[in-house]
Amino acid sequence: LAKTTQPISMDSYEGQEVNITCSHNNIATNDYITWYQQFPSQGPRFIIQGYKTKVTNEVASLFIPADRKSSTLSLPRVSLSDTAVYYCLVGDLGTGGFKTIFGAGTRLFVKA
Amino acid sequence: DVKVTQSSRYLVKRTGEKVFLECVQDMDHENMFWYRQDPGLGLRLIYFSYDVKMKEKGDIPEGYSVSREKKERFSLILESASTNQTSMYLCASSGGGGTEAFFGQGTRLTVV
């Protein structure tokens, strides 16, 4: 499984766009990139998933360059409620019994 | 609405007790996982199962065992609880090969 590296923490202000970058230099051809969000005392929650280029949903966008060695989660106009830990994972969707491995994540703190 | 249910939200046990943590999912998922989460360490995989009666060790299996007799239920067993097993325990499930995992609310276990 590809190892991921993220910043430990980030600060932002309400209304700003936040970009969290994840490095995954040894990503394999069949690997997808997935981001999760976790609030205190809750389990992680799926945000977005992609393979290449750009993916957008109602919550976030995911940018993946051509070499796929990194990815950037973009949160538009954050609010105080976006304060959470964000995890980046990479893995093969086609492999049965895939192990979902979480790193330490990025702690985002949104200030008023 | 998809659901992963953990049997207890909070649990206090004595050192040396045998502890059972139960997890049930209603999504007919093949894969189920047990993690523990400690401050500063993120989520660490204890065991996972990709089918009934199948199990594989994660990163920190020592002191734990698991049981999956039915597809919807995955149990984590602490054979002889110790104080260093005080932690938040999270159960998750995912479909075959998928990286989108759904998490339960967690069980905060305190061993005294």
Considering only CB atoms, which chain B residues are within 8 Å of A101? 45, 59
pLDDT in tens, chain B (112 residues): 668 999 999 999 999 999 999 999 998 988 899 999 998 788 888 999 988 999 999 889 999 999 999 999 999 999 999 999 999 999 999 886 556 788 999 999 999 9
Closest residue in B to A90 (Cα) is B99
| More confident of the two residues A31 and A47 | A47
- What is the full DSSP assignment across A1-60? ----B--SEEEEETT--EEEEEE-TT--TTEEEEEEEE-TTS--EEEEEESSEEEE-SS-
Torsion of CA B42, A98, B67, B73, to 10 degrees: 90
Nearest-angstrom CA–CA distance, B80 and A82: 39
Does B97 contact A105 at a Cβ distance shorter than 8 Å? Answer: no
C-alpha count within 13 angstroms, C-beta hemisphere, residue A65:
10
Residue of B nearest to A39 (CA): B105
Q: Does B25 touch chain A (CB under 8 A)?
A: no
Size of interface A-B (CB pairs under 8 A): 79
Residue B5 corresponds to which amino acid? T
In this predicted structure, the answer to whether residue A5 has a pLDDT above a threshold of 70 is yes
Write down the pLDDT at residue A1: 58
- B61 in contact with A, Cβ within 8 Å: no
- What is residue A97's predicted lDDT score, i.e. its pLDDT? 46
Helix (H) or strand (E) holding B69: strand B64-70
Alpha helices, H only, chain B: none
Q: Do A95 and B30 touch (CB under 8 A)?
A: no
- Given pLDDT bands bounded at 50, 70 and 90, which one contains residue A93? low
pLDDT band at A100 (very low <50, low <70, confident <90, very high): low
User: What backbone torsions phi and psi does residue A82 show, to the nearest 5 degrees?
Assistant: -85, -5
Whether A43 and B58 lie within 8 Å, measured CB to CB? no
CA distance B14 to chain A (A): 23
CB burial of residue B95 (10 Å; 0-12, 13-18, 19+): middle
Quick: pLDDT tens for B50-73.
889 999 998 899 999 999 999 999
| pLDDT (mean) for A42-48 | 91
Q: Please indicate whether, in this complex, the C-beta atoms of B43 and A92 are within 8 angstroms of each other.
A: no
Q: Residue A94 above 60 pLDDT? A: no
Measured between CA atoms, the residue of chain A closest to residue B101 is A46
Alpha-carbon gap, residue A106 to B6, rounded angstroms: 26
Q: Is it the case that residue A95 has pLDDT exceeding 90?
A: no
